[in-house]
Structure 1
Amino acid sequence: MRRPTKPQVFRGLQRRLVLLLLLPLLLLALMSAWIDYRSADNAALRQDAILLRMAPLLADSIIVPAASDEPPQTAPQVLLAPPVEEFLKDRPGKSAWSMSDDVGRVLQGEAWLESAAPGTREPEFLSREHEGVLYRIVSLRIVSPAGDFVMQLADGSDPRQDWGRAILIRALLPNLILLVLAAFAMQWAVRQALQPLLDLKDAVESRSPRDLSPLAEGPAPEEVRPLVQSLNRLFGLVNAQSDSQRRFVADAAHQLRTPLAALQSQVEAWAHAAGNDGVRLQAQDVGRMRDATRRTSQLAHQLLALSRADAHALHGQAGAPVDLRALCHVMIELHFAYAADRHVDLGLDCEPVSLVGQEWLLREMLSNLVDNAVRYTPSGGTVTVRCRAGQDADGRPLAVLEVEDDGPGIAPEERGRVLERFYRVRGTTGEGTGLGLAIADEIARSHGSRLQLEAGEGGRGLRAWAVFGGAL
């Protein structure tokens, strides 16, 4: 059975963490190698200083016999000074000496140390490889009665000559092994540390699309908990939006059933009457069918407005400046004919004030408030539309929008319930859907406010108002 592959994001995060953890170790290994090299280089300088101190002792090691004591010999004798002998004894196999004539022929010592005579009487240094060992050699030209000679002392124990292998064996190789082991250990540790992310991924993937319950925050580590909280907040918003849509569909199906059934029965009665010769439709039948059609159209319009005004659906949408006084003038013109037919005095009392919001929503809110006031105000009553500027306790500007009538009003115990969808006060006459105030309250909430209901002036009628922040 093929194992499921891990998400690319998780693999990238795991690889990034392992690399970030291994990078300091690699830098430390390189720094250790550099320190070893510097120490080897310092040791080589000290070794050159030792060879330089040995140079005068080499000159003292040549013994030229007096002419009166012994007959002349081909070459002087060499009696190495004790420090030179000790130097050679401490470095067996990695040190050598020689004495050559001025043309480079080795007279005594190691034959491979042949070399041309230095140009001056000052010690000179050179490097030469012999049998796989790189030697550091000091050469000194000696002028004696027997002629000119060259004394050489070689040292192959210079740490600088062997620093590459030493660093590889003593520093880089152990550090490389440590890095490999650390990589496996870190990969395992990172995988264990990131396991809560995989568990969270599995928990989200295994959920049903209808399951919007919050994720458990307890098992999540402290670093992952903000992500879980953000997901839970998102689930809450989506759940609220989904519940709102479900309620909307259910309420729409329920409320549309009654006017559509009435419209269907009226049309069927009309068709039946029209099918009988000599039977004429009465005006009241046509009026009832017209009212049912108007009610259905109004209900569909209000349901659409209610769905579009949902506070969760509008979350994150940018607003624009809205002139409330101009909006109130438009509402007066729009409802003036309807108010005149009902013999209701529709008036306006507005101050110049603007706010940042959704103009089409504020228009729908004000239209529902005015329509509701005119519809339930008896003949001869008054309805007044107002807007004004204000300030809160901290001096921030506010905008107030209200509609007041002198109709029958709403009892205090009913004012909270009339803001619910499709709720109508018992005993209310006239046609209505119970959506006007609910739509107005939903739009107010989407703008950071709430619709307030209270008695009108003198305790008569109803005053519906909302206070909006962000006035211009």
Structure 2
Amino acid sequence: MTSDLRNRLLLLLVLPLCLLALLGVWMDYRTADETAARHDQRLLRLLPALADSVLAPGSEAGGPPVWLLAPPVEDFLRQNAGVSGFSVRDMSGRLLLGDAWVHGAVPLTQAPEFHSVEVRGITYRVAVQRGPTGAGEMVVALADGSDPRQQWAQHLLLRVLLPNLVLVAAAALAIHWAVGRAFKPLVDLAAAVERRSPRDLSAIDETASPAEVRPLVHSLNRLFALVNMQAESQRRFVADAAHQLRTPLAGLQAQVEAWALLARSGGKVAGPSGTFKPDEPQALGGKAVAAITLGASEIEKLRAATRRTSQLAHQLLALSRADARSLDAQAMQRVDVRDLCENLLEMYLDAATGKGIDLGLDAQPVHVYGHGWLLRELLSNLVDNAIKYTRAGGSVTIRCAIRPDPQGGASAFLQVEDDGPGVPPAERAHVLQRFYRVPGTEGEGTGLGLPIADEIARAHGATLTLEPGASGRGLRVTLVFPA
């Protein structure tokens, strides 16, 4: 945009300069033409005096006539010595007096004629007239090399075009520099907006912008404010919904877990007035408790639904925190990735053992700068996904280490690898989209695990990649931090 404006301004300013230069050339030519017309009139007035300078025929046949230059002609030749000349010829064109190079065709009438001739690099304006003299009818000619019109044509490039071209070029450079300086605040404003984080919707300082740009800056600030209000409203909605869902879901899940345990054991529930079976109404604290006739399969389905809903609420809250605008303003801290991996290993060890999965750890001392609670959420989602989709008897490995990068530095990486069904190459870009699940995927899931991990990775400036595991089996998710 700025480049287009600069070029347009440069064109609009230089084009009139070119037109003015052409106008100057035309006016210079007109001035030279008017001056040349006056020179023509001067030569025309001197021709009769030159004819009167021929007094009588020569004493010898074929010899030069007797002549005496008239004072006006003599003054003209003396003042323009070296750039003037004259000639007197008979009607056959034979030179009788003067310079041989001053010549022309014999006029058919007594009307004066003008033509130009170039001699020794000088262009002369020659006036020729046929008329009576003291020696009879002769042809007289007078040449003038100081004609400004002839010199203008001769020195057109050096004296007219070249200075104008230099002037236009200098003006173009000056205009280009001036326009660049004038547009610098606009360029700085564009660069400042481009460098902004997508989450940074703070207002731009209007006083630092030129007066012509302030309406645009004001409109941008108004747009930023509207977008910020909308985004803030969405974030509050997600956070409030997740918070409101977590408490009742936790209570519901606890109730279902208790009834599931009771259904599996077939035992009795202890109460203030004794024990009772699920199919026997009892009085607890004076209140009637209805008999529960749900079978074990229905209770398991209800248990799975509440667990899935509780996980969804937790992931929605994590997604809201990872997408929060205030995240940029929070200072990053030094995080011990190895310690984080060991904690997650202890957290998921029971779940992996219960499913018959070998959960291993290959960790080296690694420290990165980031938000520890977000990195914990990221790793938790990756490990939970790996255990969830890996079949019994499989293996899941958590890794962290330092490795060299192509630029010659070193980068920290965090990795979770499993030997489960993996993700087809065509679906790897889609599984990072929210609520997307690969068609035909077995098991519970909300389609938010990998998108949350990707969002947290981008918040840390890291790169999340998906690739096949060892021997082309399973899935290997790698998070590479900046060097």
Query: What interval of TM-score do these two structures reach, taking the shorter chain for normalisation?
Result: 0.5 to 0.7
Q: Is the 8 A contact 1:105 1:114 kept in 2?
A: no
Q: CA deviation at 1:144?
A: 5.6
Rounded Cα–Cα distance in structure 2 between residues aligned with 1:197 and 1:147 = 85
Q: CA deviation at 1:214?
A: 0.6
Q: TM-score, normalization: structure 1? A: 0.54
Rounded Cα–Cα distance in structure 2 between residues aligned with 1:116 and 1:15 = 57
Alignment match of 2:191 (pick from 202, 206, 225): 202
Report whether the alignment pairs 1:103 with 2:92.
yes
Name the stretch that deviates more: 248-257 or 260-269.
260-269
Report whether the alignment pairs 1:46 with 2:35.
no
Cα–Cα, structure 1 residues 265 and 24, in superposed 2: closer, same or farther, change >3 Å?
same
| Residue matched to 2:319 | none
Query: Counterparts in 2 of 1:238-317, with a 5 A limit?
Result: 238-277=227-266, 279-281=277-279
Alignment match of 2:16 (pick from 15, 24, 37): 24
Q: Secondary structure at the match of 1:210?
A: coil
Alignment match of 1:124 (pick from 109, 113, 117): 113
Q: CA deviation at 1:196?
A: 1.0
Q: Secondary structure at the match of 1:194?
A: helix
What do the CA deviations read for 1:35-55 (whole angstroms, capped 9, x no partner)? 001111112222222222222
Q: TM-score, normalization: structure 2? A: 0.52
Q: Is the 8 A contact 1:97 1:154 kept in 2?
A: yes
Q: CA deviation at 1:161?
A: 0.8
Q: Is the 8 A contact 2:36 2:148 kept in 1?
A: yes
Report whether the alignment pairs 1:151 with 2:140.
yes
Rounded Cα–Cα distance in structure 2 between residues aligned with 1:165 and 1:264 = 104
| Residue matched to 2:202 | 213
Rounded Cα–Cα distance in structure 1 between residues aligned with 2:144 and 2:216 = 68
Q: CA deviation at 1:207?
A: 2.9
| Residue matched to 2:5 | 13
Q: Is the 8 A contact 2:102 2:141 kept in 1?
A: yes
Cα–Cα, structure 1 residues 65 and 22, in superposed 2: closer, same or farther, change >3 Å?
closer
| Residue matched to 1:356 | none
Q: CA deviation at 1:19?
A: 3.1
What do the CA deviations read for 1:148-167 (whole angstroms, capped 9, x no partner)? 42111111111111113555
Q: Is the 8 A contact 1:103 1:116 kept in 2?
A: no
Alignment match of 1:180 (pick from 145, 156, 169): 169
| Residue matched to 2:373 | none
| Residue matched to 2:380 | none
Alignment match of 1:232 (pick from 221, 235, 251): 221
| Residue matched to 1:77 | 66
Q: Secondary structure at the match of 1:223?
A: coil
Q: CA deviation at 1:215?
A: 0.9
Q: CA deviation at 1:63?
A: 1.0
Let me know the Cα RMSD of the aligned residues: 3.4
Q: Secondary structure at the match of 1:13?
A: helix
Cα–Cα, structure 1 residues 113 and 240, in superposed 2: closer, same or farther, change >3 Å?
same
| Residue matched to 1:344 | none
Name the stretch that deviates more: 274-283 or 146-155.
274-283
Q: Secondary structure at the match of 2:208?
A: coil
Q: CA deviation at 1:100?
A: 1.0
Rounded Cα–Cα distance in structure 2 between residues aligned with 1:157 and 1:20 = 40
Which 5+ residue runs of structure 2 have no aligned equivalent? 268-276, 282-289, 317-483
Rounded Cα–Cα distance in structure 2 between residues aligned with 1:242 and 1:222 = 30
